[in-house]
């Protein structure tokens, strides 16, 4: 059979692009408080905000937690917004940060969801969760996830945030580094997240929240952000627990020098041959977004944007910090989905140029794994799988997500309470076009079990029960550090159990069984290419 190498390379590039996929959840329009309900006005340190209150929940949308990062503040650390005195209309979401659907750099907003009872007696301090959205660090917004069920079932407060994305959030460049007090650049999106955490620490008591009981959680790039904040010295004291969903894909971060080299290529592409910060700040935002792929460190995921070791926000790679215990030692829940990469293969292959062929597998493996490709193909022989698509999806899932998560969990368990899970509902609803293989428990498919004003109507009874159990576990952990319902932390010798999230209720899975299922001994022994 003839092999078209360009098709394989195109498939690989499409797969990389779709790694930014996130789950978007539609949120119902806000309405003003009815008569007899608590006041919808809350005093923050920056000024009063006017939200919406119903008989169950209060919502405060589009609160600016930092000044617009425009003009001279583009590619600078976030600073406080200008204060106001007239109540700010907080009944509509603020702009998303620049991406395909937005070119508005004035985007550093957060949204607060509060049980109505918290607003009735603001002396009671409710637990707080801060949600950091996914989207490959290039898309997404806090407004795209509705935490209503978490708030009402868990009896706690949830804050969702925007943060700078793509080149605007993660461009490193020598000219920008020369301006900074620490000699680095590029981690502005993580700085935004930490600035939002500081806003919560200062302001959440006014909403009835407990600033001393804050859990951060996120999925995909948001999950990777959780790891970044866990190992960031500048995040110390800003949160008390962390939940990580599918964030284990990149434990080794690019160096500042690597990131700056890509930043120089980006500068040339946007017309800044003089490589100056002034020129970069004058580039139209649409041009920045159109060319931001130039800043990517093209590793296995080929991420367009990612944090780097800037020697301030991040002083070492995630994996290194976890292994040495040099991280913020708060209790952690960390997990992945059993079939993470199937949705990416579906989008890149079946729904694009068509299913992978047997002849294309070695070419694709060589593209991603280099000299290790023959060993990978021997470990995942086509004869063991129904199709080439599933060879690729399974091997990529095991390498990128499952085994990296296991390594992180075993490292963290030596220093702090660590719970591990795997979302494994093989029949999770997805709403995607049919392809030549089952989607299974793919990337982001667990989000519908946690978010939404109402349960997914496509849920079977057992899936609805699993959704309730997951919400209970997430909110129990945020309340007192224990997910409950029999969850067991890994012990310090790093054996024990994963919690397998299957309907109708989670079951225990031995770490050894999880490791064998995902061939982690093979991946951990594979030499660096």
Q: How far apart are CA 163 and CA 195, in angstroms?
A: 10
Strands 241-245 and 48-50: unpaired
- For CA atoms 134, 138, 141, 146, the dihedral sign is negative
Q: What is the DSSP letter of 527?
A: P
From 220, 225, 246, 407, the catalytic residue: 220
Percentages helix, strand, coil for the chain, rounded to the nearest 5? Answer: 40, 15, 45
**Token pair 């022994």 in the structure block, residue:** 525
Within its chain, how far is the Cα of 56 from the centroid?
28
420 neighbors 334 (Cβ within 8 angstroms):
yes
- For residue 358 the two structure tokens come to 């047997």
Q: Check if 220 is active-site.
A: yes
441 neighbors 246 (Cβ within 8 angstroms):
no
- As to burial, measured by CB atoms within 10 angstroms (0-12 exposed, 13-18 middle, 19+ buried), residue 237 is exposed
- For residue 125 the two structure tokens come to 């301090």
Number of H helices, E strands in the chain: 19, 14
Task: Indicate left, alpha or beta for 63 from its phi (over 0: left) and psi (-120 to 50: alpha).
Answer: beta
When computed from its CA atoms, the radius of gyration of the chain, rounded to whole angstroms, is 23
Burial 396-409 (b: 16+ CB within 10 A, else e): bbbbbbbbbbbbbb
Q: Which strands form 41-43's sheet, in the order they lie side by side?
A: 41-43, 48-50, 88-89
Q: How far apart are CA 185 and CA 209, in angstroms?
A: 33
Burial 484-514 (b: 16+ CB within 10 A, else e): eeebebbeeebebbbbbbbbeebeebebeeb
By annotation, the residues acting in catalysis are 220
């Amino acid at each position: 059979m003839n092999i078209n190498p360009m098709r394989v390379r195109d498939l690989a590039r499409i797969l990389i692009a779709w790694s930014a996929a996130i789950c978007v959840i539609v949120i119902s329009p806000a309405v003003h408080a009815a008569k007899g309900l608590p006041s919808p006005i809350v005093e923050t340190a920056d000024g009063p905000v006017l939200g919406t209150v119903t008989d169950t929940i209060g919502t405060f949308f589009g609160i600016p937690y930092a000044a617009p990062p425009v003009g001279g503040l583009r590619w600078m650390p976030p600073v406080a917004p200008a204060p106001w005195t007239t109540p700010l209309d907080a009944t509509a979401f603020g702009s998303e940060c620049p991406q395909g659907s937005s070119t508005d750099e004035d985007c550093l907003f957060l949204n607060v969801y509060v049980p109505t009872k918290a607003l009735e007696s603001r002396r009671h301090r409710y637990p707080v969760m801060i949600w950091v959205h996914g989207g490959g660090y290039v898309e997404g917004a806090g407004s795209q996830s509705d935490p209503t069920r978490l708030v009402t079932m868990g009896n706690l407060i949830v804050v969702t945030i925007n943060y700078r994305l793509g080149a605007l959030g993660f461009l490193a460049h020598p000219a920008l580094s020369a301006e900074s007090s620490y000699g680095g650049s590029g981690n502005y999106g993580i700085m935004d997240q930490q600035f939002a955490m500081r806003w919560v620490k200062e302001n959440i008591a006014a909403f009835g929240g407990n600033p001393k009981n804050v859990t951060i959680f996120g999925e995909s790039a948001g999950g990777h952000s959780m790891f970044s904040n866990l190992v960031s010295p500048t995040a110390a004291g800003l949160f008390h627990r962390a939940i990580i969903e599918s964030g284990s894909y990149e434990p080794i971060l690019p160096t500042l020098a690597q990131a700056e080299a890509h930043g120089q290529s980006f500068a040339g592409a946007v017309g800044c041959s003089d490589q100056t910060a002034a020129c970069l700040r004058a580039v139209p935002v649409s041009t920045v977004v159109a060319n931001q792929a130039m800043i990517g460190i093209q590793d296995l995921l080929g991420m367009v944007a990612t944090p780097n070791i800037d020697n301030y926000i991040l002083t070492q790679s995630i994996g290194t910090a976890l292994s040495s215990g040099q991280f913020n030692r708060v209790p952690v829940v960390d997990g992945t989905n059993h079939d993470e990469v199937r949705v990416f293969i579906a989008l890149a292959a079946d729904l694009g140029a068509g299913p992978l062929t047997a002849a294309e597998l070695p070419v694709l493996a060589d593209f991603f794994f280099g000299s290790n490709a023959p060993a990978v193909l021997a470990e995942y022989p086509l004869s063991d799988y129904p199709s080439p698509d599933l060879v690729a999806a399974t091997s990529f899932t095991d390498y990128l997500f499952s085994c990296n998560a296991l390594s992180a969990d075993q490292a963290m368990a030596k220093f702090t309470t660590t719970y591990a899970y795997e979302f494994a509902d093989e029949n999770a609803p997805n709403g995607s076009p049919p392809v030549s293989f089952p989607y299974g428990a793919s990337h982001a498919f667990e989000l519908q079990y946690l978010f939404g004003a109402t349960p997914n109507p496509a849920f079977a009874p057992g899936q609805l029960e699993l959704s309730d159990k997951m919400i209970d576990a997430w909110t129990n952990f945020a309340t007192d550090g224990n997910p409950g319902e029999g969850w067991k932390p890994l012990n310090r010798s790093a054996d024990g159990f994963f919690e397998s999230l299957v309907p109708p209720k989670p079951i225990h899975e031995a770490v050894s069984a999880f490791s064998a299922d995902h061939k982690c001994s093979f991946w951990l022994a594979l030499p660096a290419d």
